[in-house]
Chains A and B, each alone.
Chain A
Amino acid sequence: MFARYPALAFAIATLAAMDGAAAQTANQPPDTMAARVEACTPCHGNKGEGTNDVYFPRLAGKPAGYLYNQLLAFRSGRRKYPPMNYLLEFLPDPYLEAMAAYFASEHPPLPQPAPSEVSKEVLAQGELLATSGDADRSIPACVSCHGPGLTGMQPGIPGLLGLRAAYVSAQLGAWRYGNRTAKAPDCMQLVAGHLTEADVTAVAAWLATRPAPANPAPVPKGTYALPFGCGSQPN
Chain B
Amino acid sequence: MISPVLLFDLLLGLSLLWLAWRTLAAHTLFEACVSFIVFGLLMALSWVRLDAPDVALAEAAVGAGLTGVLLLGALERAERARVEAAPGPWWRRGAGLSALLLFLLLAAALITLPPRPPLPLQEALPLAAAEHPVTAVLLDFRAWDTLLESAVLVLAVVAAWSLERSVSPPRPAPVCSEVLRSLVRLLLPFSILSAGYLLWRGGHAPGGAFQAGTVLAAAGILLLLSDLRRPFDLRRGYWPLALLSGLLLFIAVALGTLGYGGTALDYPPGGGAALVLLLELGLTVTIALAFIALFSSGRSRGDE
A binds B: no
